[in-house]
């Protein structure tokens, strides 16, 4: 059985989701954001998971998914979206580049894996 997710599509990254040619870059950025969210929301990690997921709606594209392991937890989506906006406005592009190259992940393969569902 697959997990149910609350879909988070960062508004500031809308242009990345407009065309599949951006999927690889979008997966890298969303993976970076998920890592930051896991640190920011560490006290919730026994109740939620943050993952890069494939959304299928008029095509397939990557997004952030929040899986609520504990159904009693209230919706943290708006707080997560505000946190992502803060990161995108305040973090350095050098932090993102450092993340992208640090583990020598093949982002093309990673994007294909995620988008394969």
36-76 confidence digits (pLDDT tens): 999 999 998 899 999 999 999 878 899 999 999 988 888 99
Provide the mean pLDDT of the chain.
Answer: 93
Q: In 46-88, where do the E strands start and end? A: 48-56, 60-68
For residue 1, pLDDT over 60 is answered with: no
For residue 32, pLDDT over 90 is answered with: yes
What 8-state DSSP symbol labels residue 45?
T
CB 62 within 8 A of CB 114: yes
3-state SS assignment for residue 41: coil
3-state SS assignment for residue 9: coil
| Distance in angstroms between the alpha carbons of the first and the last residue of the chain | 13
Q: What is the CA radius of gyration of the chain?
A: 14
């Amino acid at each position: 059985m697959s997990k149910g997710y609350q879909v988070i599509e960062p508004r500031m990254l809308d242009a990345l989701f407009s065309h599949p040619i951006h999927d690889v870059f979008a997966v890298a950025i969303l993976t970076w954001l998920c890592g930051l969210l896991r640190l920011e929301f560490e006290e919730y990690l026994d109740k939620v998971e943050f993952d890069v997921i494939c959304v299928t709606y008029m095509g397939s594209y990557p997004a952030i998914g929040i899986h609520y392991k504990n159904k009693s937890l209230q919706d943290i989506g708006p707080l997560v979206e505000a946190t992502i906006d803060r990161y995108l406005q305040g973090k350095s592009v050098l932090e993102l580049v450092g993340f992208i190259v640090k583990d020598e992940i093949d982002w093309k393969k990673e994007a294909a894996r995620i988008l394969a569902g």
